[in-house]
Amino acid sequence: MQGFILKLTKSIKEDMIVKILTTKHYYTLYRFYGARHNILYTGRKIDFEIEHQGIHLPKLRNIMHLARNYEKQLERVYVWQQFCNLLDRHLQDTKEIDQFYYNLLNQHSKILEKQNPKRLVSSAYVKLLEFEGRLYHENICFICGNTFQDKVAITQGLLLACLNCVTAPVIMNKKDILDFYETKSLINISDSECTKIYNTILLGL
């Protein structure tokens, strides 16, 4: 079985609680002496087996690291881990999930080595919102309902508001952000604006 590690929690002594996203489930597993094994790392893809043990947490067994080239670059690893932490918080009460989430991580981890990591995560985030039916496509403020002028404020969940309703650190051209939501491409958005979008994403889903 293959999956992505989204969260690691220290347990008794050197044991670990490991949360792994697969194509159909979000597992919470127990790993004896997990702190000793550098294979266990947030964001990594692994091959593994599960050993069920009655009423206790199932055990994580026979782990194999399925390496990605981006793992050699610390900045990319850090951004990827932030996205995985965000996804863990979003799915924390879920056990059975749609394959979309696994596919999203699998596809984007393959190209992370070659792309700006913040741009890649921003694109993945918008795809997730659209899949869940929560991507904001409207030309009106989600608070007051007034039609936007040239500039919009971007708030948590990438909701758009007019400048009179919120004081947001991210203000962008309406056309640029709506084009991004439509195309999932940040080609018309500068690196500095992309970083602002990324920082808004980190506020949560």
DSSP 38: T
Q: Is 108 part of a structural domain of the chain?
A: no
Residue 144 has pLDDT above 90, yes or no: yes
Domain that holds residue 80: 1-95
pTM recorded for the entire structure = 0.90
Q: pLDDT tens-digit profile of 146-175?
A: 999 899 999 999 999 999 898 767 888 999
Model pLDDT, residue 100: 97
Q: Is 101 part of a structural domain of the chain?
A: no
Q: Is 39 part of a structural domain of the chain?
A: yes
Model pLDDT, residue 94: 82
CA geometry: angle 44, 103, 126, nearest 5 deg = 100
Q: pLDDT tens-digit profile of 7-23?
A: 999 887 778 899 999 99
Q: Is 25 part of a structural domain of the chain?
A: yes
Q: 72 and 120 share a domain? A: no
Q: Is 59 part of a structural domain of the chain?
A: yes
The residues near 137 (Cβ < 8 Å, ≥ 6 apart) are 178, 181, 182
CB of 172 closer than 8 Å to CB of 160: no
Q: 5 and 41 share a domain? A: yes
Q: pLDDT tens-digit profile of 50-104?
A: 988 776 789 999 999 999 999 999 999 999 999 999 999 999 888 889 999 999 9
The residue out of 32, 67, 95 marking a domain boundary is 95
Q: 84 and 133 share a domain? A: no
Q: Is 43 part of a structural domain of the chain?
A: yes
The tally of domains found in the chain comes to 2
Distances (CA, A) of 92 to 20, 27, 28, 85, 86: 11, 10, 10, 10, 10
| CATH number for the domain that contains residue 67 | 2.40.50.140
Model pLDDT, residue 124: 96
Q: Is 171 part of a structural domain of the chain?
A: yes
The helix (run of H) or strand (run of E) holding residue 20 is strand 16-21
